[in-house]
Structure 1
Amino acid sequence: MTLPDLELDIHLTDADLAAALRSDARTGLTATPKHLPPKYFYDARGSELFEEITRLHEYYPTRAEREILAERAGAIARRTGAKTLIELGSGSSEKTRLLLDALREHGTLASFTPLDVSAAALRGALSDLRREYPDLHLQGIVADFVHSLDVLPEAGTRLVAFLGGTIGNFTPAERAPFLAALRARLSPGEFLLLGADLVKSPAVLIPAYDDESGVTAEFNRNVLHVLNRELGAHFDPALFAHVARWDAANEWIEMRLRALVPMTVRIDALDLTVSFAEGEELRTEVSAKFRREGLTAELAAAGFAVRDWWTDAAGRFALTLATAV
């Protein structure tokens, strides 16, 4: 059987990514306190490390979300009757196959559109999916979903999946405009399936971001390797300690890199030198945790009505099915 060529729409080029990295690095490394967006963890090595993290016994979110999808995918298919499934920040689309199978069995699914910043990741995922779902129209979109929701296809009743708890990487001030912009791209009655990690004991949360084997620490320091390679920076990652901290007031985990010694670091591509005091921290990720009432209110403010709320058996993670109203 001859399968069609992969359809990949490019709305984000390597030059765009390089320009964004330069801008974000300059802004974040000259701020007080210093910070970097978590998206720069995910070069090829970072993606490998994150896949390893998802298999660690301390890291529950991936297993918990898969548990919910395995149990509820059929109900999601029946509730939505979606013709088009769109996934934001799709990566390998591994868990999404549970939705694809359920929607295909329900008889409504005609197309799947994964959206990701990595063209290489999309090509790999689409190549695998094309073999598994030869009759499904597959259209990958290379874009940053934070800024490019206008590129989402308009084809039949749509279900937008935003999984993995990635919504937690937004601060509240960032979540509100993002959710509102997503609602603006959907017609009334179309659907959002949102994965969100829940507030729980720091005794469970902190080990998920600071595992005994040190994989998350290596993942965190990988952002410095990215800066060294892409911007000609001169960081020594070994001089930074991995820090994972629960912020009870904001109900989020913060990942940081703490300078072990005072240092100055040259970043050649930015013609910039930055200084770190001993003990100074660079924030690399916020991972917000949610409560049902709070997330429901945030969705309502953006124009979504929650139709279903499901958790894993241990109550650690939630999938929310909401409709645009």
Structure 2
Amino acid sequence: MRNPATLPRDVARAPEQAQAATSEFGRELRAGLSRRMRSVSPKFFYDVEGSALFDRICDLPEYYPTRTELRILTDRAGEIAAQIGPNAEIIEFGAGSLTKVRLLLDALETPRRYVPIDISGEHLEAAAARLRADYPQLAVQPVAADYTMPLVLPAQAEGAGRRVGFFPGSTLGNFTPDEALAFLQLSARLLRGGGLLLGVDLVKDPALLHAAYNDAQGVTAAFNLNLLRRANAELQTDFDVDGFTHAAFYNAPLQRIEMHLVSRRAQTVTLDGEAFAFAEGETIHTEHSHKFTIDGLRSLAIKAGFTPAAVWTDPDRLFSVHWLQAPAAQ
């Protein structure tokens, strides 16, 4: 790695360096590395490679959430469709590969439009193109954006039914409790007159959780470490990827999985000419995944302005899908 002491402080930055330094990823990574407890938002996992690795995670034998939620959506499709109603507009937050929404679209009566929102624009466009080919009568209007920030959605289509949010995968658990409340409050305002179909992971045996985030094939580790590769490629950082290792564990008092990147040795990383020293064993906290009880989630939804209605679980109560009614339209 470069020794930052040898870099002229007044050296002119190349255009790509200046752009990297002012990007959202660059700003947030700099802020995260400057904290005493270093961290970076999990939303930056999802470049093209990270999105592909997450798709692989979803197929792993240890990773129960995806297949369990898919089974709930399949088995309860008719009941879910009855809650949503005909001619609906579906707004999916953090759409990814658009796999789960197919089960919903197949069950719904004449859905009008589908608006997938995801931060990874290239991955989203490719997935949207595949969906258009399979559902030629459905208007598909992808939006590349950070869905945790205030959004301006497309005007509701003429003759459309309810505007319904779809937020599967227990992504809500990646937020802090305050962030989860803020997201649900934002959703309640966006979805007035409609509702939110929300999937959340449930509190369970810690051994099952540990296995899900420490798979034998090492795919989750590669997913976590890809964040450093992305930083090197996009921000011209000089992370030694082999100098960090993946760690994930269940924090029982906080009811959450934590993922970290652990420095294997003392080392220094530079971002835009600024040096960040890591001690051996020091970590970058990359993700937490809160687990919920059904009653706890319903209480949170009420606080955000929703009215909890139906809830569906698998027989082992590993996962849950909730129908939350949004406030009436103004």
**TM exceeding 0.5:** yes
User: 1:79 pairs with 69, 75, 83, which one?
Assistant: 83
Structure 2 residue 183 is the aligned partner of structure 1 residue 178: yes
- Alpha-carbon distance in 1 for matches of 2:103, 2:216: 31
- Counterpart residue number, 2:233: 229
CA deviations 1:233-264 (Å, max 9, x no partner) are: 11111111211111111100000011111111
- Counterpart residue number, 2:5: none
- Alpha-carbon distance in 2 for matches of 1:177, 1:319: 20
Structure 2 residue 272 is the aligned partner of structure 1 residue 308: no
- Alpha-carbon distance in 2 for matches of 1:67, 1:306: 21
**Could you tell me how far 1:128 is from its partner in structure 2?**
1.4
- Counterpart residue number, 1:165: 170
Contact 2:165 2:187 in 1 (8 A): no
- Counterpart residue number, 1:3: none
Alignment partner of 1:274: what SS? strand
Structure 2 residue 102 is the aligned partner of structure 1 residue 102: no
Contact 1:196 1:289 in 2 (8 A): yes
- Counterpart residue number, 1:279: 281
- Alpha-carbon distance in 1 for matches of 2:232, 2:124: 25
- Alpha-carbon distance in 1 for matches of 2:243, 2:234: 20
Alignment partner of 1:296: what SS? helix
- Alpha-carbon distance in 2 for matches of 1:222, 1:89: 19
Contact 2:264 2:280 in 1 (8 A): yes
Contact 2:245 2:263 in 1 (8 A): yes
CA deviations 1:61-118 (Å, max 9, x no partner) are: 1001100010112211111105211111111211110100111xx34x1111111122
- Counterpart residue number, 1:7: none
- Counterpart residue number, 1:318: 320
AA at the equivalent of 1:69 = L
- Further displaced range: 274-283 or 109-118: 109-118
- Alpha-carbon distance in 1 for matches of 2:252, 2:313: 22
Alignment partner of 2:78: what SS? helix
Runs of at least 5 residues in structure 1 that lack an aligned partner in the other structure = 1-14
- Alpha-carbon distance in 1 for matches of 2:182, 2:79: 29
AA at the equivalent of 1:89 = G
In structure 2, relative to structure 1, the CA distance for the partners of 1:243 and 1:65 (3 Å cut) is: same
User: 2:69 pairs with 65, 68, 82, which one?
Assistant: 65
- Alpha-carbon distance in 2 for matches of 1:203, 1:225: 30
CA deviations 1:171-208 (Å, max 9, x no partner) are: 101111111111112224x1100010111111000110
In structure 2, relative to structure 1, the CA distance for the partners of 1:97 and 1:16 (3 Å cut) is: farther
- Alpha-carbon distance in 2 for matches of 1:196, 1:243: 23
- Counterpart residue number, 1:4: none
Structure 2 residue 259 is the aligned partner of structure 1 residue 255: yes
Contact 2:228 2:239 in 1 (8 A): yes
AA at the equivalent of 2:166 = A
Alignment partner of 1:150: what SS? coil
- Counterpart residue number, 1:55: 59
- Counterpart residue number, 1:126: 128
Contact 2:237 2:270 in 1 (8 A): yes
% identical aligned pairs: 42
- Counterpart residue number, 2:29: 25
**Could you tell me how far 1:313 is from its partner in structure 2?**
2.3
- Alpha-carbon distance in 1 for matches of 2:198, 2:286: 23
**Could you tell me how far 1:141 is from its partner in structure 2?**
1.2
- Alpha-carbon distance in 2 for matches of 1:185, 1:73: 24
- Counterpart residue number, 1:139: 141
Would you identify which runs of 4 or more consecutive aligned residues in structure 1 move more than 2 Å?
Answer: 15-18, 148-156
AA at the equivalent of 1:219 = F
Alignment partner of 1:297: what SS? helix
AA at the equivalent of 2:38 = K
- Alpha-carbon distance in 1 for matches of 2:286, 2:234: 17
**Could you tell me how far 1:153 is from its partner in structure 2?**
4.2
- Alpha-carbon distance in 1 for matches of 2:122, 2:260: 28
- Alpha-carbon distance in 2 for matches of 1:253, 1:170: 12
**Could you tell me how far 1:154 is from its partner in structure 2?**
2.9
Contact 1:196 1:290 in 2 (8 A): yes
- Alpha-carbon distance in 1 for matches of 2:58, 2:209: 14
Contact 1:187 1:324 in 2 (8 A): yes
AA at the equivalent of 1:198 = L
**Could you tell me how far 1:119 is from its partner in structure 2?**
2.3
Contact 1:149 1:182 in 2 (8 A): no
- Alpha-carbon distance in 2 for matches of 1:32, 1:231: 22
Pairwise CA RMSD? 1.6
